[in-house]
Every structure is written in structure tokens, then in C-alpha cells.
Amino acid sequence: PNFDISENLVSNICEAYYKTCQYSREELASYSKAVRSQEGTLQFQNMAPDQLWGLCAEKITEAIQHVVEFAKHSNAFMSFDQHDQIILLKTGCLEVVLVRMARAFNITNQTVLFDEKYTPIETFRSLGCDDLISGMFEMAKSIAELNLTEDQIALFSFAVLITGDRPGLWESNRLNKLQSVVLGSLQEMFHKTHSDPPDILTKLVMNMLNLRNLSRLHSKYFLHFKHHFVNVSLPPLYKELFFVDENQPPQHFA
């Protein structure tokens, strides 16, 4: 495929995104009055940590499944060998979920849509990973503050997904080229919506580094906590993605 036909590329990415973004902006806005009550928050705080981990893992896995669908709907992504597709999804899916989290984040009261209600950060305290959770909330806030359009979120999340320097990739060069084309189109779009396009792009690129750190931190906590998970069942896809040295072939992407 010729990535110079970037108009096709862009419209295909946006279409893939609209089909798989779970909630429209309108739906997200209609939830915004549903804020979790103090008692509601307390109920989560009183849950056993492994129970809450299980619940969060379930929600994250649901979101990841939509990211996998997003990738599968993109012609550019599908033009890479399955070997690279799997590496990109394994290493990038949580980062894309965090980009998507920015849409479901309310800057005014610093809450995120979780289990049907806009929910404050304290809700997640018993997980025992405050730095990870606050990092995720800060990331969502900093992306939300950029006021991206849906098309721009689509392109940015795609750029995150096709990061060319993940370990083990066969076609790093072609991925890097594709990523510059996508980021170029993104900057082009900023001319219509933002006063300082290069500045926004710089901020996004810095966010990309931060996303990677958060994804690493999440894996670290997961490995640290996994021996506490004997009483709680985690979604198979979640385990497959974040248990590092399992030699079994992936089964849940299909």
C-alpha cells in the first residue's frame, strides 16, 4: 500500500475509530451528570484490593477489545505481518485505552467514566498503586486539555498504536514512516482548529513518551500483584497481554 495517498489513509483510520469508540461524544456528555456519590465511592474503597483489581481488569479488557477492533478495521494496520500486529497490540493497547480515557474524563471535577458513573480518583485507592492511578488521571487530563476533535483523537491513537520501536518488530522502518505520515496529517488538521499547531504536536509527542512509561508501570504492578490474584479470576485476554514470559501463542486476538 502507498501511504502517500494519505487522504484515504486518514479517512480509513477515522472510520475505523468511529466504528469502535464505544461511546460517542454526545453519549459521554449525557453521562456527565451521573457523578458517583460519596457512598458509592466508599463502596469501592471498602472492596478487597484483589476484587477491585479484577473489576478494573474487566473494564480495561473490554476497552482493549475495542482497540483490537479499531486496529483490525484499519487497512494500514492490517498491511503489516501478523507477527508485528501482535507486538503492536500487546505493547500499545493500554496506551490507546489511556488516550481514549481522555474523552471520558471530566476536567471540571477531575472524574472519569467508570461503571456508568463519573468517578473520582479516590475510588481506586485500595488498589495500592497510587502513582499509576494518578499518572493515568494526569495523562487523561493533559490530553483532555488539548481539546482534540474526534478525528484528531483517531489519528493520535493510531499514531500511538503503530509506534515503530517496540522490541521485536520486523518492519520498524515502514512503521516509522507511516507514523510520520499520520502525525503530519494530524498537524495539518491542527491548522484548522488550534492557534499553534507545532506546539500541540510537541505536547502530543511528549505524551507518547509518558504513555509508554505508564504502560510499563502498569505491567510492573501487574507482575507484582499477580500472586495475590489466586481468589479472583482475571479476564484471559488481560492475562495473556500482561503476563510477560508465557510461551503460548496468543489466542484471544482472533
Among 36, 70, 77, 100, binds ligand 4D8 (CB under 6 A): 100
Place of cell 512503521: 175
Residue among 55 and 208 whose Cβ is closer to ligand 4D8: 55
230 CB contacts (<8 Å, ≥6 apart)?
Answer: none
- Rule CB under 6 A: is residue 133 a binding residue for ligand 4D8? yes
> What is the contact mask toward ligand 4D8 in residues 134 to 163, using x (rule: CB under 6 A)?
--x---------------------------
Return the C-alpha cell found at 128.
495500592
Sheet containing 117-119: order of strands: 105-106, 111-114, 117-119
- What φ, ψ does residue 98 adopt, rounded to 5°? -70, -35
> What is the contact mask toward ligand 4D8 in residues 210 to 229, using x (rule: CB under 6 A)?
--------x-----------
Which one-letter DSSP state was computed for residue 253?
-
Query: Total residues contacting ligand 4D8 (rule CB under 6 A)?
Result: 21
Near ligand 4D8 in 15-44, by CB under 6 A:
22-23
207 CB contacts (<8 Å, ≥6 apart)?
Answer: 139, 142, 143
3 state DSSP class of 151: helix
Return the range that interacts with ligand 4D8 (CB under 6 A); candidates 9-17, 42-50, 130-138, 202-210: 130-138
Return the C-alpha cell found at 219.
505491567
Largest pairwise CA distance in the chain: 55
Residue among 53 and 80 whose Cβ is closer to ligand 4D8: 53
Return the range that interacts with ligand 4D8 (CB under 6 A); candidates 4-12, 126-134, 207-215, 228-236: 126-134
Distance separating alpha carbons of residues 241 and 231, to the nearest angstrom: 20
Q: Which of 9, 20, 115 is nearest to 59 (CA)?
A: 115
- Rule CB under 6 A: is residue 97 a binding residue for ligand 4D8? yes
Return the range that interacts with ligand 4D8 (CB under 6 A); candidates 51-59, 71-79, 162-170, 172-180: 51-59
Binding site for ligand 4D8 (CB under 6 A): 22-23, 53, 56, 59-60, 62-63, 97, 100-101, 104, 112-114, 124, 127, 132-133, 136, 218
